Amino acid sequence: MAESPAILVIGPRWVGDMVMAQCLFSALKEQYPNAAIDVLAPAWAAPLVKRMPEIRQQIDFPLKPGALEFRIRRRFGRLLRGRYDMAYVLPGSWKSALIPFFARIPRRVGNLREMRYGLLTDIVPLPDAVKRRTALTYFGLARGGTFQAPKLTVDTVSQAALLERSGLTAKTFVALMPGAEFGPAKRWPSESYAELARGMMAKGLKVALLGSRNDAEVTAEIAALAPGAVDLAGKTRLEDAIDLIAAARLAVSNDSGLMHVAAAVGTPIVAVYGSTSPENTPPLSERAELVWLGLSCSPCHQKTCPLGHLNCLKTLDVARVAAAVDRLLEIPAAA
């Protein structure tokens, strides 16, 4: 293998998974310090990938999620021929391994998953114990190096402008991220977030609500129930959210992409879990509190509650989450 290999990574399509993929990138850079690592990923990922110093460039993935488009993958792979020495395929689908195969990249690494014999040259075993532990799964593909938690860079100039425009001051506000792109079974109720927000504001902290356009309806509900909260959902780009979260004194989030962003910029995080398990996808931070009821029906890993009651989140009382917040803020418990 060349001392300066060109490496192509077929990246995941979720924000949190892309953050956790940095565990692989850093391990590859440790093994191949002069490697040029490119990531093939959806266009939305570019601002996130730019915050990872290990990556040379992001290449826009040409297809929509779930689309096979065999001919397009073949044509795209042929365009990449001769450019890479190695490829790492992070998604588990059969179709995800097609582009490196058509690009004739000599070494193509990934887990077997959907019976990808022939498409991959180096199949890395995936023990049952880590199948849902995304960060460890990605890191395991490197087959070497040191496991390091993700660490995103912060644009301090942009951060200062964002804070001024939003009426916020660094380290005086709590960032709440109440959305979850995966589905409602990951989403703590709006009423609970609103009660938590009112409690934080009563203690003299400002509250900022962050998320994508898809989260705007949820954050609007919370803002209406917690007057004074600054609703920024859908009004910021992904790179803006990274910088704002980095400026927060603390963040509270569902198991979502922005939860992993908070951990990766060093902001203390309270993570609320419902249909998923904190044992599988915890925020990779030493300053994290994980709140999970661990009911007999969870984790179900479903987008919507299969039993129709969502007790894993609806019965998670605000006091429990507020106590976790106080521990991270080092606020004494009420007498």
- Indicate if the pLDDT at residue 183 is higher than 80: no
List the CATH code of the domain at 6-140: 3.40.50.2000
pTM over 0.85: yes
Cβ atoms 8, 25 nearer than 8 A = no
- Give mean pLDDT, residues 213-219: 94
Are 6-140 and 156-329 the same fold in CATH?
yes
**Domain edges within the chain:** 6-140, 156-329
List the CATH code of the domain at 156-329: 3.40.50.2000
* SS3 of residue 231 by DSSP: strand
- Give mean pLDDT, residues 192-211: 97
**200 Cβ contact list (under 8 Å, min separation 6):** 174, 207, 325
In the block, residue with structure tokens 């990934």: 110
- Give mean pLDDT, residues 35-56: 96
pLDDT for position 136: 96
- Indicate if the pLDDT at residue 50 is higher than 60: yes
pLDDT for position 7: 98
Q: What are the start-end ranges of the E strands in the chain?
A: 6-10, 36-41, 55-60, 86-89, 107-110, 122-123, 173-177, 206-209, 230-231, 250-254, 269-272, 288-291
pLDDT for position 335: 40
Using alpha carbons only, how large is the chain's radius of gyration in Å? 21
For the segment 151-162, what is each residue's pLDDT rounded down to a tens digit?
999 999 999 999
For the segment 280-298, what is each residue's pLDDT rounded down to a tens digit?
999 999 999 999 999 999 9
Where residue 221 falls among pLDDT bands split at 50, 70, 90? very high
pLDDT for position 1: 54
Measured over the CA atoms of residue 319, residue 306, residue 222 and residue 47, the dihedral's sign is positive
Question: How far is 133 from 137, CA to CA, in rounded Å?
Answer: 6
- Give mean pLDDT, residues 159-180: 96
Q: How many Cβ atoms from other residues are within 10 Å of residue 146's Cβ?
A: 11
- Give mean pLDDT, residues 51-66: 89
Please report, rounded to a whole number, the percentage of residues in the chain having pLDDT higher than 90: 85
- Give mean pLDDT, residues 246-269: 97
